[in-house]
Amino acid sequence: MGQVGSQDAFGYTGTTVLRNSKGVLATSQPIAIFDSGEGGLTVLKRAVALYPGEDFIYGADSVHFPYGSRSLEDVQRLFLRFLDFFLAEQVKAVVIACNTATAAALDVARRMSPVPVIGVVEPGARKAAALSRNGHIAVLSTYATYKSGVYLRAITDSNQAAHVVQHPCPALVTMAEAGATDTEQARMAVRACLTTVFACGVDTVVLGCTHFPHMERIFYEEIANRAQIVDPGYETAKQLADVLGPLNREPGGTLRFYTTGLPAEFNRISAILWPETPVQATPLIWQGGGYQTTRES
């Protein structure tokens, strides 16, 4: 038997769990990763690369995309529906791979869930605060994340002297969800967002929406050596082992995908955004007070 220690930064109190001889969590329970659409695939991709022996469930609330234009109350309600679904699937942890849903639902989800719930904001904010030399940090995000001020609070919690420049870039979200991540239109939109924040003297740029790393090549080319880039999804994936203890790094894990939208469309866009990984999503419908799997009509 082994003990997972308390992780106050994640709002999780440890419990007794079984481990194998290598100290790896000895359970076949999957790890759930959630987003409003295809953005969280960037987090899943990082997690699979780090822990290829783990089983993952990816849930996309595609029918309600985009979350960034919704109220935080509405987003919280929508995410908690998925939390119930994940718990019914007996997951061992839930990653909210959506900055807007993290802002809206993380605190209440942690109170409700018997397993750890991890958001993408805190790991990214801590990394940005540690990396920045001049304390001027840009956060590119959706409107809802921008209005919530969640990154402002999280970054200044780590560095009270930090100057946080928040800038919503909703057009990038829509482009990424459509798979238009390597176009001249995407480059011009990225450039416009960066021009605004660089005018404020930032030396660190946080990609505060999980859709944005789908355009990471453009971001790196446009930013060049002017600033450091923080991908909160990658920082969050690394934190899974801090919360759960050693995870399986040997190949052999499985992936399952669910969407409330049209599976064929989800699969098509996923093939553009993550071409090396075959995706066959299962449709979900809201029925009888919970999400149920069903065949695509």
Tell how strand 290-293 and strand 281-287 pair up. antiparallel
Q: Which of 199, 232, 265 is the last residue of a domain?
A: 232
**Same domain assignment for residues 18 and 157:** no
Ranges of the chain whose pLDDT falls below 50: 1-26, 296-297
pLDDT value of position 98: 96
**Same domain assignment for residues 289 and 249:** yes
**Same domain assignment for residues 222 and 260:** no
Give the strand order in the sheet containing 228-230: 163-168, 136-141, 204-207, 228-230
pLDDT value of position 245: 94
**Same domain assignment for residues 16 and 157:** no
pLDDT value of position 36: 95
Q: Which of 179, 207, 232 is the last residue of a domain?
A: 232
pLDDT value of position 288: 87
Residue 275, preceding peptide bond in cis (omega within 30° of 0): no
**Same domain assignment for residues 45 and 93:** yes
**Same domain assignment for residues 66 and 108:** yes
pLDDT value of position 294: 75
Q: Give the model confidence (pLDDT) of 135-165 as tens digits.
A: 999 999 999 999 999 999 999 999 999 999 9
Q: How far is CA 159 from the centre of its chain?
A: 23
**Same domain assignment for residues 213 and 168:** yes
3-state secondary structure 145-206: HHHHCHHHHHHHHHCCCCEEEEEECHHHHHHHHCCCCCCHHHHHHHHHHHHHHHCCCCCEEE
Q: Which of 232, 256, 272 is the last residue of a domain?
A: 232
Q: At 147, which amino acid appears?
A: K
* Number of folded domains that form the chain: 2
What range defines the domain where residue 110 resides?
A: 2-119+235-293
Is residue 1 a contact partner of residue 16, using CB atoms and an 8 Å limit?
Answer: yes
CATH number at residue 133: 3.40.50.1860
Which is the catalytic residue, given 98, 169, 193, 200?
98
Cβ contacts of 6 within 8 Å, gap of 6 or more:
12, 13, 14
**Same domain assignment for residues 105 and 138:** no
Indicate if 193 belongs to the active site. Answer: no
What is the token pair recorded at 263? Answer: 């599976």
pLDDT value of position 24: 47
**Same domain assignment for residues 169 and 268:** no
Which is the catalytic residue, given 169, 193, 200, 209?
209
pLDDT value of position 27: 59
**Same domain assignment for residues 142 and 100:** no
Q: At 75, which amino acid appears?
A: V
**Same domain assignment for residues 178 and 268:** no
pLDDT value of position 18: 41
**Same domain assignment for residues 13 and 111:** yes
**Can you tell me the distance from the alpha carbon of 83 to that of 133, in angstroms, rounded to the nearest whole number?**
38
